[in-house]
Amino acid sequence: MNANIADFGTNRINALMKETRNFIPSTRKFNDKKRADLLEKNIDSFLTELEHEINIHTKKIKNFNKLHEYSQLEYNWNDHRAEPFDKQLINLAWTKINELEIQPKVFPTAADSIQLEYEKENGDYLEFEIYTDRIEVFRIIGENEEEFDLNIEEDLNKIVNEFHGK
């Protein structure tokens, strides 16, 4: 896989959306203005939701591409004797990223883990450090810092959604 896959997918999806907008007949042909306005509003709502879903999937693809790159790293990839990543770890990180409704930033660490992180403009911070046998969570909300561990089967969405106020 290469990083251009996500860009190609995004460009193609945007072209399809433009074609869809052009294909939808003008709602002004309806005699009833209320029905026409409602239909147009529903179409706009659908297209907005579609754009949101495309955005999520595009970010997911980019994160999958990063994981693929990390899986190719060799010994000493950070010039400090870091080991290559275990396939089991890459697969676990892939699964967690695939499950997430809000996509994180993804980084390799020299501690044989993959780090997923979220940061808000106000400085609040959420980090998952994924190991093959556990997930370490670190978060800062305002002045409060918290660290705890999760088992690898736990769903991260609840914590992410809480962090984002959902």
DSSP 114-159: EEEEEE-TTS-EEEEEE-SS-EEEEEEETTEEEEEEE-TTS-SHHH
Contact 85, 72 (CB under 8 A): no
pTM for the structure as a whole: 0.73
Rounded-to-integer distance, Cα 76 and Cα 48, Å = 45
Rounded-to-integer distance, Cα 116 and Cα 25, Å = 44
pLDDT digits (tens, 9 = 90+) for 97-150: 999 999 999 999 999 999 999 999 999 999 999 999 999 999 999 999 999 999
Q: What is the pLDDT of residue 57?
A: 85
